[in-house]
Amino acid sequence: MLPGVGVFGTGRTVRVLVPLLQKEGFPVQAVWGRTQEEAEFLANELDIPFSTSQSDDVLLHPEVHLVCILTPPPHTRQIAVKALGIGKNVISEQAATLTDACKMVTAARYYPQLMSIMSNGLRFLPAFVLMKRLLGEGYCGTLQVCEARVYGGSLLSQSYGWAWEELMGGGGLHTVGSCIIDLLSYLTGGRASRVHGMLRTFVRQGGTGGGIRSVTADDYACFQLLMGGGVVCSVTLNFNLPGADLHEVMLVGSSGRLIAKGAELYGQRNGRNGEELLLSDGGAGAGPSITGLNAMVTQLRLSFQAQEDRCSWARHPVSMATTFEDGLYVQTVVDAIKLSNRTGEWESVEVRTQDIDPNHNHRTPALQFLNQFL
């Protein structure tokens, strides 16, 4: 049997993920919401047998062995650390701060037998899996430049919440840019040594429920990463384009280029006329994030299904997944970009390791949620 799943969150990603899990045979046993009403509504909508607004009720549920954390960033670390501490496998979104990311790495190192991965499905997107393989086979020659562009509408919620606040993990850089930063590291096999960035908040007042509160989260980000080996990455994120839906990643090398447009992959070798379609999206049209998440859930099933019990898992099917340590690196890059935005200078990326102790058990005695911000 596959492990029972407990889900934290009631947002759009949860509404996508739960049916994917159920389709692959994972019994989704419990869901947590900020209020009991939110949790019950989602449970009825998605056929989940148990709902609650008390986090411990999910974590201690006897049929929950895999915890999916899709909550606002300020909640992430508290749930992840406690879940690992009581023996649950964890899939989590990005933490809110560098300190939170460090504590998640500490817990993951202390419980290495448990799954502790991030929920970035882009690594599993078939277009990027093929892109990485072709890059390794020399399709582009020596890699020189990576460019990524993501355009879309506003990320703000209609009423005031964490998405409005930069310090709570809101903004395009943290919510979308972190996935792109991680993807570029996966594709190139390297990490950024220096960064330079510019952030802007063009929409300073949110929806009708905002009152006098202003928006501090960025809706535009443009940054450069200088990777190990000299590869240059340039990323532009713009969430001031209602109706737009652009997700494009291009790798340019000495003998050719590879371009992922949404969930499709194109390539062109130097001296050839025109791009060739290397991988289509199969007509699904679901977009890269959902398609990648779907592929990730399939690999999760393969990871768990061959095991003798519902807690054990095989590493190979999910070997490409983003680890908590990768999440720490990404958060370090995000913070360096924010610093560069303030100083106007190139900033170094130095991943913090001195206070990550694999022999120290960071168990959180109680979860204290920041409901006043939601």
Q: What is the pLDDT of residue 364?
A: 35
Mean pLDDT of the chain: 91
Instruction: Strand 143-151: give its sheet, edge to edge.
Output: 276-279, 264-269, 256-261, 246-253, 143-151, 232-238, 220-227, 192-200, 347-348
Q: Which range has the worst mean pLDDT, 29-38, 88-97, 140-149, 197-206? A: 197-206
Q: What is the pLDDT of residue 264?
A: 96
Q: In the prediction, which pLDDT does 180 show?
A: 98
Give the model's pLDDT for residue 363.
Answer: 36
> For tokens 């939601």, what's the residue?
374
Residue 364: half-sphere exposure toward Cβ, Cα within 13 Å? 22
- In this predicted model, which residue has the larger pLDDT, 172 or 285? 172
> How many CB atoms are located within 10 Å of the residue 67 CB?
27
Query: What is the residue extent of each domain of the chain?
Result: 5-119, 122-279
Q: Which two tokens stand for residue 33?
A: 């919401």
The whole-number pLDDT of residue 161 equals: 84
Contact 44/31 with Cβ under 8 angstroms? no
Instruction: Calculate the alpha carbon distances from 175 to 74, 155, 172 in Å.
Output: 13, 9, 5
Length of the chain in terms of residues written:
374
The pLDDT-based confidence of 287 (bands split at 50, 70, 90) is: confident
Q: Which amino acid is at 371?
A: N
Token pair in block for residue 229: 């080996």
Please count the other Cβ atoms lying within 10 Å of the Cβ belonging to residue 309. Answer: 10
Q: What is the C-alpha to C-alpha distance for residues 170 and 156, in angstroms, rounded to an integer? A: 9
Lowest mean pLDDT: which of 108-122, 140-154, 308-322?
Answer: 308-322
pLDDT of amino acid 71: 94
What would the two tokens of residue 280 be? 């289509």
Question: How is 137-182 classified by DSSP, letter by letter?
Answer: TTTTSSEEEEEEEEE-S----SSSSGGG-GGGT-SHIIIIIHHHHH
Mean pLDDT confidence for 353-369: 43
Does 3.30.360.10 match the CATH number of domain 122-279? Answer: yes
C-beta separation of 203 from 220 below 8 A: no
What is the structure's pLDDT at 355? 57
Is residue 86 over pLDDT 90?
A: yes
For residue 6, give the amino acid letter.
G
Contact 356, 81 (CB under 8 A): no
pLDDT band of residue 334 (cuts 50, 70, 90) is: very high
> Which of the pair, 163 or 280, is modelled with greater confidence?
280
Q: For residue 368, is pLDDT > 50?
A: no
Q: Which two tokens stand for residue 80?
A: 């992840």
Q: What pLDDT, on a 0 to 100 scale, did the predictor assign at position 206?
A: 66
- The pLDDT score that the predictor gives to residue 116 is 98
* pLDDT for the residue numbered 62: 95
φ, ψ for residue 319, nearest 5 deg: -65, -25
- Which tens digits make up the pLDDT trace of 170-203? 899 999 999 999 999 999 999 999 999 999 999 8
Task: Examine the pLDDT at 157 and tell me if it is beyond 90.
Answer: no
* CA 288 remoteness from chain centre: 13
Task: Kindly state the tokens that stand for 233.
Answer: 């990455």
d(CA 20, CA 14): 10
Residues 6+ apart with CB under 8 A from 332: 98, 101, 349, 350, 351, 352
What is the 8-class DSSP label of residue 4? P
Residue 202: φ, ψ to 5°? -85, -35
Confidence of residue 308 (pLDDT cuts 50, 70, 90): confident
CA distance 355 to 287: 39
Model confidence at 221: pLDDT above 80: yes
Q: Is 251 within 8 Å of 184 (Cβ atoms)?
A: no
Torsion of Cα atoms, 271 then 277 then 278 then 284, to 10°: 160
State percent of the chain over pLDDT 90. 81
Count of C-beta atoms within a 10 Å radius of residue 29: 20
Instruction: Give the whole-angstrom CA distance, residue 239 versus residue 373.
Output: 22
- Give residue 309's pLDDT: 82
Does the pLDDT of residue 225 top 90, yes or no? yes
Residue position matching structure tokens 């500490």: 106
| pLDDT of 371 above 60 | no
Both tokens of 55, joined, read 């986090």
Q: How confident is the model at residue 63 (pLDDT cuts 50, 70, 90)?
A: very high
Tokens read off for 263: 């969930």
Domain spanning 5-119, CATH architecture: 3-Layer(aba) Sandwich (3.40)
